Chain A
């Protein structure tokens, strides 16, 4: 019985964090928020050299062969830094391919995805906030697909896109396939790009035809996004504590006002214990089959909710400054909102939890 991290897992987090501390400053985030691009190729390449791109790809294909827990631990660190890299999307696409791709597909794609020379993403979001396999409508016929998917992250730079289709199956689509149209959208979180993607008879490789693989893939995504949101929220909490200690009003630091102190304590109360929740959910994905889908959904809805409440209060505690574009709080606020909405809102995931709980 050990609800803790191994030395290797601790080291993984420290290594990625050390790299980000050195290579990616808040100034760089600010730059991104003022430019059109949401992808930092150099940063991603650096992370790929550390093996981040292949974390969950089997070792036989040059990956790390690691589990959802390691994936989430890296996600936490990337969320805390608000790093503009498609780590979660890429890992989900690679994991789906590793689980269900044909031998040919795997040999062709997995080594490149593990190295980071190829980039993967997932296309799961449809009109009306429908992220779940039960509501997908992209039509498949004769190894081709027709339909439209909204809110695809990093579509413009992805080499491989795993698309959710009618009936809950998954298919893989390659870059620059005929009939593939990508239209960039103005995203809220400038650290993750967004596109609308249209498929007009695009050739595809079928990975699965029943929802099981999609559900499993989404569960991994749910934990990873909970971890990302947690990382962002704890970073925002630290920043808020620092600000409250240094900002003076009425001749004293505002942290000396009990109202402020209690608000900060409440922020901590809401987010700090949830680290254990997403750890547990990540463990469940690989080790607790009865909870492998439900606990991640519960973790994502809970952390999404709590982290965004924290972000709102962090803005408020920064006063007028908090409402400005130049204040870094907005970077994490938007990261947290993306994590809350992407791959399923708390509201829709809670309905899934109810169903999966047999209620």
Chain B
């Protein structure tokens, strides 16, 4: 190998490639990055492409649609909200790089609504040591929120998987006491957190028999035949799924192929979006009517109204904004769009609450002191305080009907509440405030 002159030449050539993308170093402002007199810049990371992207890749467009609506009404304290989004394909290696880009190049004020537990694990320490607000994270992993001393800037955007699993688990245990209950979960913090919640509710699973796991993200390439075969062989009648939506669709399809017909499916809310479910099965050639029939009867939980609940005032208002402002490639109204809108509504409310003199420290302090008073489409309040940064503290249980609507079990919506620890599951007394006519949050 001739390595002398060419090496120097190629090093110089490489530098030229690099130089092409050098951004000018902006003069440091006196205030925090990402906030100016006219703009607030928020950053979001999510899988826009790749195996875990179906469904979740709509959350950013929905949130942006709500922010665009807010901007059209004059913004927050005269500032418009800009949402910068990076695709991390649900791979932690890329999450680290894209986080660096959001922090250092896009100069975001705060991380907002980032999706993914195992990906967020890779950057949460760094975000917190830089004291950047990390708000309304779309992960229900309780480990991010229950110790604010460890992660002082991180606040949840979903009820924790533990809370949801405790509520769902208690119902299943009581309702199906005579049935064999098993679980299919992804072997990351999401799946394990949910598993811990179901166990806390008194359900017992036996590894390799009534509990089957898979590596998150492999459902598309490796399938779930082994796991479903295991549950079938062990006579599991009630199958709980604690996994992303794409895995739920694969699980149902696989069960069909194995002629495995559990008495009941129960799916954790983030994995039970009907549109995503039908889209994935549709791509495999399953007609919409068939996939709707497959989903019918599935039990799930939600902190917010069902997207198909046309009578709900938040659904009506958000749906209208989605129709008018969503510029994404797929703006079909569903759980993911609803969640994107709802956390954008909450973020707007929090930014309004901090006031004109917006800083990162003030936003964090505001959420800790006033977060539990923020209203949204959810039927449960945020749990934010100085001792916990957990989001929605309650869920209601429902069953999918033939039209893919999650309808309250027994026709009446009852919201249950508990904590991520050993607290009991009780009925919530929270009354959701009404949405304003202009669909903008009102802060006292």
- Determine if chain A interacts with chain B: no
